Chain A
Amino acid sequence: MTPAIRTQGLRKTYAHIVAVDGVDLEVERGEIFGLLGPNGAGKTTALEIIEGLRTPDEGDAEVLGQRPWPRDRALLRRIGVQLQASSFFEKLTAAEQIGTFAEFYGVPRADADAMLERVGLTESAGVETGKLSGGQMQRLSIGCSLVHRPELVFLDEPTAALDPQARRNLWDLARGVRDEGATVVLTTHSMEEAETLCDRVAIMDAGRIVVTGTPMRLVRDLDAPVRISLPPDAIEEDEARALPGVDAVETNESGLLLRGASAADILAGLAERRLLNGLQVRGATLEDVFLHHTGREYRA
């Protein structure tokens, strides 16, 4: 089977600004794939090209084995897209909204009601869309993109306006969709979300993909120091500095912070001194990977 998405050398320039600068991407079927990157990195343009809304200046793309542009209605039937904006028929109720989208795909009404239930909006079924809360609108928008059980679904910052409960429910929904065999491509600014939800991520910056892989693999490849914090007065600073594997020590009001390349060496030393109570080990996170690759400057 062809991959869900395969692109080669996508390039798109707007009036001297290179939005997408040679993007090669491959998304397997049945995975949750996260496209990460600071604002202005070119994620939106890249996705718009893949969704068929724009044609690239250079390069090629294949979505579910088809070229996505010019607008291909047969292909659109197989994909689902959720946009950030509240792009709705404002005066329709939540149930009518999702029902209208269901009609576009020739899906029975019952499926629309079931999807409304799945995104937790059955109680708001009769509320005019314009009067829903931000989180409810976002869930409705996700429901509308999934109502026809697409093979490939694009979610644009799907949990941005959601509270923790709704966010976790949405993660379950995304995993459920994947487990039914569909492919999920999402963008997010939450590294926590990317780390827990995505099977693989790609980090994009300045129009290019800078790194791709599973979140765990990326974190490991970063080879970042571990940080071990100890309660105050557990050990003298000088003694700590002398421990095997410790590169640096910091003291602050909440205790001591040890840094080193190998958690195993440091922990062994601490265990010998019976100092394991109350200690915390923190390795690098996907956020460290992200900042490592994209820098700390403010973006657009």
Chain B
Amino acid sequence: MSRSLRALFVEAIKSTIRDKMALFFTFLLPLMFLLIFGLIMDNSSSRTNVAVVGDGPVARVLEGPELKDALKITRVGSVEEGRKKVTDGDVVASISEAGGTVHVDYAASDQTQAAQALGTVNGVIAQANLRAAGVTTPQFRMDARQVEDDSLGIIEFFVPGLLGYGISVGAVFGLAIALVQWRRSGLLRRLQLTPIATRDIALARIALHLVIALAQTVAFLLVGKYMFDVHLTGSWWMCVPLVLCGTLAFLALGFLVASFSRTQEAASAIANVVTLPMAFLGGAFFPVEMAPSWVQAISKALPLTYLTDGLKDVMVRGHGPGAAVVPMLVLLGTALVAGGVALRVFRWE
């Protein structure tokens, strides 16, 4: 490594550490998204709130240990009190028993949760009926299995998705803003008048962003592990080469943004136009698999899609290291094409 390259790299690291705004957008903001999404979508809040009146046999089963993950029970004194809780939206259903009949008052305003409550009560009644009929070994039983790892929750999708988002924002904004600022201040021209190799300027910036990306990855893994108990699957370590390839692709996009921006304001606006829709359509905030097919078609054209998909495959879906190969190739291809175009369009002043 030449002295110039080392000096440029040291400068890049120091400047980044001293730039509070850059640190906020590359580290804090993506982590804040992770915290917010993680807390909102917390698994425990997916329990259904129901009110239970009295102490009949069905009520006892509902309160039993088997259903404690599915229902959150509130005891109420009367049927009226239960109904009021349903109309107020505190619970989705109120359950009371009279002889052999189980009354369920439910709110249709939250159909998914109401259906879950009704289904659960129905299951309890069916089992009670079987027992009353003397059936001890049922003829049919259901064995439901989740295709992903047993512990897979929504947070396991957010960690790779938002990590991909953080990587894209850090690289696109970081490089575009720095280059436009350097061009505006005359620093790019000043550097041309020193004997440093142009290649060293590029290499120092690339090295800086690879270091930033690795730091982002470590931060996400630590927060995911220790705050949300995220369960990583076997080839999670492939996230490292994936993230590095993604960084190269997004640096090329940042370079392209800088080529088309004269002012910092323009660079920041264009960078937003590039990163934000890409985050929504690229599987950073929600799974694109649920979106209409034309959205999925667009999504297939976005580099972020390949990064988030690759990260999800190796980090939480339990795929082998090979699953990262195609995404990495696509990201490197993006880096070459976008970087090549930017090299032709970019102006030093």
Closest chain-B Cβ to A146's Cβ sits at a distance in Å of 13
Interface residues on A, range: 20 to 34
The answer to whether B189 and A53 have CB atoms under 8 Å apart is: yes
- Nearest chain A residue, comparing its CB with the CB of B193: A81
Instruction: Please judge, given known A-B contacts A103-B4, A106-B3, whether A53 and B192 are in contact too, CB under 8 Å.
Output: yes
Q: Is A298 an interface residue (CB 8 A)?
A: no
Q: Within the assembled complex, what's the spacing in Å between the Cα atoms of A87 and B194?
A: 13
Chain B CB count within 10 A is highest, among A51, A74, A89, A90, for: A89
Closest chain-A Cβ to B6's Cβ sits at a distance in Å of 7
Contacts of B15 in A (CB 8 A): 89-92
The answer to whether B7 and A103 have CB atoms under 8 Å apart is: yes
Choice from A52, A90, A92 contacting B181 with Cβ under 8 Å: A90
Name B's interface SS: helix
Contacts of A99 in B (CB 8 A): 7
Contacts of A100 in B (CB 8 A): 7-8, 10-11
Q: Is A85 an interface residue (CB 8 A)?
A: yes
Q: Within the assembled complex, what's the spacing in Å between the Cα atoms of A222 and B325?
A: 78
Q: Within the assembled complex, what's the spacing in Å between the Cα atoms of A100 and B192?
A: 15
Interface residues on B, range: 20 to 34
- Nearest chain A residue, comparing its CB with the CB of B10: A100
The answer to whether A89 and B194 have CB atoms under 8 Å apart is: no
Instruction: Please judge, given known A-B contacts A103-B3, A103-B4, whether A89 and B193 are in contact too, CB under 8 Å.
Output: no
Contacts of B19 in A (CB 8 A): 91
Interface residues of A in 271-288 (CB under 8 A from B): none
Q: Is B56 an interface residue (CB 8 A)?
A: no
The answer to whether A104 and B7 have CB atoms under 8 Å apart is: yes
Q: Is B111 an interface residue (CB 8 A)?
A: no
Name A's interface SS: loop
Contacts of A85 in B (CB 8 A): 185-186, 190
Q: Is A60 an interface residue (CB 8 A)?
A: no
Contacts of A13 in B (CB 8 A): none
- Nearest chain B residue, comparing its CB with the CB of A51: B193
Q: Within the assembled complex, what's the spacing in Å between the Cα atoms of A89 and B8?
A: 10
Q: Is A296 an interface residue (CB 8 A)?
A: no
Instruction: Please judge, given known A-B contacts A89-B15, A96-B14, whether A104 and B196 are in contact too, CB under 8 Å.
Output: yes
Q: Is B240 an interface residue (CB 8 A)?
A: no
The answer to whether B18 and A76 have CB atoms under 8 Å apart is: no
Chain A CB count within 10 A is highest, among B7, B189, B193, B196, for: B193
Q: Is A171 an interface residue (CB 8 A)?
A: no
Q: Is B100 an interface residue (CB 8 A)?
A: no
Interface residues of A in 38-88 (CB under 8 A from B): 51-53, 71, 73-74, 76-77, 79, 81, 83-88
Q: Is B197 an interface residue (CB 8 A)?
A: yes
The answer to whether A89 and B11 have CB atoms under 8 Å apart is: yes
Interface residues of B in 1-58 (CB under 8 A from A): 3-4, 6-8, 10-11, 14-15, 18-19
Q: Is B195 an interface residue (CB 8 A)?
A: yes
Instruction: Please judge, given known A-B contacts A92-B14, A104-B4, whether A87 and B192 are in contact too, CB under 8 Å.
Output: no
Choice from A53, A81, A89, A103 contacting B187 with Cβ under 8 Å: A89
Q: Mark A137-152, 1 if CB is under 8 A from B, else 0.
A: 0000000000000000
Contacts of A76 in B (CB 8 A): 193-195
- Nearest chain A residue, comparing its CB with the CB of B188: A87
The answer to whether A88 and B185 have CB atoms under 8 Å apart is: yes
Q: Mark A97-119, 1 if CB is under 8 A from B, else 0.
A: 00111011110000000000000
Q: Within the assembled complex, what's the spacing in Å between the Cα atoms of A250 and B193?
A: 54
Choice from B4, B185, B193, B194 contacting A90 with Cβ under 8 Å: B185
Interface residues of B in 154-206 (CB under 8 A from A): 181, 185-187, 189-190, 192-197
The answer to whether A86 and B195 have CB atoms under 8 Å apart is: no
Contacts of B187 in A (CB 8 A): 87-89
Choice from B6, B18, B190 contacting A103 with Cβ under 8 Å: B6
- Give B residues with C-beta under 8 Å from A: 3-4, 6-8, 10-11, 14-15, 18-19, 181, 185-187, 189-190, 192-197
Apart from A53-B193, A104-B195, what 20 extra A-B contacts exist at CB < 8 Å? A53-B189, A71-B192, A73-B195, A74-B195, A76-B193, A76-B194, A77-B195, A83-B186, A83-B193, A85-B186, A87-B187, A87-B190, A89-B15, A90-B185, A91-B15, A92-B11, A96-B14, A100-B7, A103-B7, A106-B3
5 residue pairs of the A-B complex, CB under 8 angstroms, read A71-B192, A73-B197, A83-B186, A103-B3, A106-B3
